[in-house]
Structure 1
Amino acid sequence: MNNNEFEYSEKTKRRVRIFKRILSFIVLILAIATMVALFYVKKEKMRVRLFFSLLQYIAMSIVLISPRLLKKFANFEVPVEVHISVTAFAFLGLVLGDGLNFYGKIGWWDSLLHFTSGIILSFIALWLLQMLILRRKYLFMHRALLYIFVVAFSLAVGAVWELCEYTVDDIFHTNNQQYMATTRATIVSSDDEPLEGHDALADTMKDLALDLAGAILVVCYECSKKEITQYYVLKKD
């Protein structure tokens, strides 16, 4: 990708740096506090919880530096809008959701993130189309096909995510798909009891429905913009 495709003002760059530094500072403090706690906590269940939280903070650190790594090793520049959206989402999911156990403490936290992910993925789909247009002189895409692609992209990524959650739950005996009746937290204990029958599918179906709702919201927003044809769709002369 040409590095000149994305140009931002110094004010925007400064705000992004401040945003990332604040998140980096929060993650660093949480990681240090967690490592210190690991030396003092003796209960195995609590140690597992702390170690799991530490892994989430490490994953968040990787997200924060990912644009720099992509630019250095793949010569790929991530747009600021995409990076900020993904970073904020990762912070809500990895740091607050798993690290600080918001999934277990706040019943609607998982639903909020899935609805938000549907919105973010839809804008990423539009960005990918825009990149395709920038690379090609002529491209025609009907409005209806554009909207179908946005919704399909969001649902496809959401479905792959559910497959990943199922795989992780199966291997590590976690509760990413929230199939436990006694807790909504990611880390479970031997005392927790699973849901049975149709109820065990409810969380997965709800997550996909929220992905769909987020995508439809973006489509409705794009429908209200008269410039969408010029911005995302170039017609042949």
Structure 2
Amino acid sequence: MSVVREYVGVSERTVTRAFQVAIVSVLLAGVATRHVGVVVNAAVALAITFLPAVLERDFSLPLDPGVTLWITVALSLHAVGMLGIYTRVWWWDHLTHTLSATVVAAVGYATARVLDEYSDAVHFTRPFLFVYILLFTVALGVFWEVLEFLAREVGTLTGHDPVLYQYGVEDTVVDLVFDTVGAIVVALFGSRPVSSLVETFSHRIEHLRDESESD
């Protein structure tokens, strides 16, 4: 069984590298065309994909390869979308918002689970967790929409292509709907994939607690 898990981990890492190469290709395309929005989004996306490796190296927080792949796919699809696919493929924005929302919801869920497990002051029931995940994800979605609006305004004022695009109130509402869909998917079915993330953070907190008690 351990051999199978190791093989699956290697396969997932290989696919993750392939998506990172795709982001690098988008970055190079942005540089070649001097498109600031493409360059910035691809550069930020690429940097975030290496965050799990940094957490493992510097903070002893290894993440499951599947979680890393999950994050990388969401970021790569967004970066590719900046090449013009967002405007040419009507469902691409819905796909990226839903997938990105699942990542955000997973982070919120993992944080709540860790707090619930290691704090005697709180206890989160399943109905509460469901509502919490929805509110957490939608709140971050609203924040993202505000960033898109500000990026559009800055682009208009400076005469440059905006780093992010926002197409009006209707687009914002639709984006938030698909953010909610992503949150519901995690709230209903996402506990198993996120369990490794919860376990990782739990072990780290336990380790820090043991160190503080020994001091």
TM over 0.5: yes
> 5+ unaligned residues in a row in structure 2: which ranges?
157-161, 199-215
Q: Point out the structure with max Rg over C-alpha.
A: 1
2:105 corresponding residue in structure 1: 122
1:112 to 88, 95, 114: 95
1:66 corresponding residue in structure 2: 51
Deviation readout 1:77-96 (Å, 9 max, x if unpaired)? 444443322211100001x1
Q: Is the alpha carbon distance of 1:79 and 1:149 closer, same or farther for their aligned partners in structure 2, counting shifts above 3 Å?
A: farther
1:215 to 183, 186, 189: 183
1:93 corresponding residue in structure 2: 78
Deviation readout 1:166-194 (Å, 9 max, x if unpaired)? 22112123384432xxxxxxxxxxxxxxx
1:53 to 32, 38, 48: 38
What residue identity is the alignment partner of 1:53? V
2:130 to 121, 133, 147: 147
Contact 2:116 2:124 in 1 (8 A): no
The structure 1 segments of at least 4 consecutive aligned residues displaced by more than 6 Å after TM superposition are none
2:15 corresponding residue in structure 1: 19
Whole-Å Cα distance in 2 between the matches of residues 164 and 20 of structure 1?
27
Q: Indicate the SS of the match to 2:124.
A: coil
Q: Is the alpha carbon distance of 1:222 and 1:201 closer, same or farther for their aligned partners in structure 2, counting shifts above 3 Å?
A: same
Contact 1:122 1:154 in 2 (8 A): yes
Whole-Å Cα distance in 2 between the matches of residues 222 and 57 of structure 1?
27
Structure 1 residue 164 corresponds to structure 2 residue 147: yes
What residue identity is the alignment partner of 2:54? L
Q: Is the alpha carbon distance of 1:214 and 1:135 closer, same or farther for their aligned partners in structure 2, counting shifts above 3 Å?
A: same
Overall identity of the aligned pairs, in %: 20
Q: Is the alpha carbon distance of 1:148 and 1:59 closer, same or farther for their aligned partners in structure 2, counting shifts above 3 Å?
A: same
> 5+ unaligned residues in a row in structure 1: which ranges?
1-7, 39-46, 180-199, 232-237
Structure 1 residue 102 corresponds to structure 2 residue 90: no
Q: Is the alpha carbon distance of 1:143 and 1:20 closer, same or farther for their aligned partners in structure 2, counting shifts above 3 Å?
A: closer
Number of matched residues?
Answer: 187
Deviation readout 1:203-228 (Å, 9 max, x if unpaired)? 111111221233234434479x9xx9
